[in-house]
Amino acid sequence: MADMKTDIRQFLSRYVKNQDIQDDEDIFSSGIVNSLFAMQLVMFLETRFNIRITNQEMNLDNFKSINSIATTVDRLLA
Protein backbone atom coordinates (compact mmCIF):
# COMPACT_ATOMS: atom_id res chain seq x y z
CA MET A 1 0.00 0.00 0.00
CA ALA A 2 2.99 2.32 0.47
CA ASP A 3 3.64 2.37 -3.29
CA MET A 4 -0.03 3.13 -3.87
CA LYS A 5 0.14 6.09 -1.48
CA THR A 6 3.27 7.32 -3.25
CA ASP A 7 1.45 7.23 -6.61
CA ILE A 8 -1.53 9.09 -5.16
CA ARG A 9 0.72 11.68 -3.51
CA GLN A 10 2.59 12.23 -6.79
CA PHE A 11 -0.70 12.74 -8.64
CA LEU A 12 -1.88 15.24 -6.02
CA SER A 13 1.43 17.11 -6.17
CA ARG A 14 0.79 17.90 -9.85
CA TYR A 15 -2.23 19.96 -8.78
CA VAL A 16 -1.19 21.12 -5.32
CA LYS A 17 2.07 23.04 -5.27
CA ASN A 18 4.20 23.75 -2.23
CA GLN A 19 2.19 21.68 0.24
CA ASP A 20 3.19 18.58 2.13
CA ILE A 21 -0.05 16.61 2.36
CA GLN A 22 -0.30 14.27 5.32
CA ASP A 23 -1.81 10.80 4.79
CA ASP A 24 -4.80 11.55 7.01
CA GLU A 25 -5.35 15.19 5.99
CA ASP A 26 -8.81 15.95 4.56
CA ILE A 27 -7.87 17.45 1.19
CA PHE A 28 -11.39 18.76 0.52
CA SER A 29 -12.31 20.41 3.83
CA SER A 30 -8.85 21.94 4.12
CA GLY A 31 -9.36 23.62 0.74
CA ILE A 32 -6.38 21.93 -0.89
CA VAL A 33 -8.62 20.69 -3.72
CA ASN A 34 -12.24 21.18 -4.72
CA SER A 35 -15.06 18.92 -5.86
CA LEU A 36 -14.21 19.45 -9.54
CA PHE A 37 -10.84 17.88 -8.82
CA ALA A 38 -12.61 14.74 -7.59
CA MET A 39 -13.44 13.69 -11.16
CA GLN A 40 -9.82 14.06 -12.22
CA LEU A 41 -8.81 11.98 -9.22
CA VAL A 42 -11.33 9.25 -10.06
CA MET A 43 -10.12 9.11 -13.68
CA PHE A 44 -6.50 8.85 -12.50
CA LEU A 45 -7.31 6.05 -10.04
CA GLU A 46 -9.29 4.05 -12.59
CA THR A 47 -6.50 4.33 -15.15
CA ARG A 48 -3.52 3.88 -12.85
CA PHE A 49 -4.88 0.96 -10.82
CA ASN A 50 -7.11 -0.57 -13.51
CA ILE A 51 -10.23 -0.39 -11.35
CA ARG A 52 -13.81 0.70 -11.89
CA ILE A 53 -15.22 3.20 -9.42
CA THR A 54 -18.99 2.83 -9.40
CA ASN A 55 -21.59 5.41 -8.39
CA GLN A 56 -21.92 3.53 -5.11
CA GLU A 57 -18.23 4.21 -4.37
CA MET A 58 -18.57 7.92 -5.24
CA ASN A 59 -18.75 8.99 -1.63
CA LEU A 60 -16.54 11.88 -0.61
CA ASP A 61 -15.45 9.93 2.48
CA ASN A 62 -13.71 7.46 0.14
CA PHE A 63 -11.57 10.23 -1.37
CA LYS A 64 -11.02 12.76 1.39
CA SER A 65 -7.46 11.76 2.31
CA ILE A 66 -4.56 9.76 0.96
CA ASN A 67 -5.37 7.04 3.50
CA SER A 68 -9.05 6.83 2.51
CA ILE A 69 -8.18 6.85 -1.20
CA ALA A 70 -5.65 4.02 -0.74
CA THR A 71 -8.14 2.02 1.35
CA THR A 72 -10.82 2.44 -1.32
CA VAL A 73 -8.46 1.40 -4.13
CA ASP A 74 -7.19 -1.56 -2.09
CA ARG A 75 -10.78 -2.70 -1.47
CA LEU A 76 -11.62 -2.42 -5.19
CA LEU A 77 -8.51 -4.38 -6.16
CA ALA A 78 -9.41 -7.25 -3.81
Predicted local confidence at residue 31, as pLDDT: 83
pLDDT at 18: 67
Q: What is the pTM of this model?
A: 0.90
Which pLDDT value is given to residue 17? 76
One CATH from 1.10.10.10, 1.10.1200.10, 3.50.50.60, 1.10.10.60 for 2-77: 1.10.1200.10
Who contacts 53 (Cβ-Cβ below 8 Å, separation ≥6)? 42, 45, 46, 72, 76
pLDDT of the chain along its 78 residues, tens only? 789 999 999 999 888 876 788 999 999 888 888 878 889 999 999 999 999 999 999 998 999 999 999 999 999 999
Distance CA 60, CA 58 (A): 6
- What is the model's pLDDT at position 1? 77
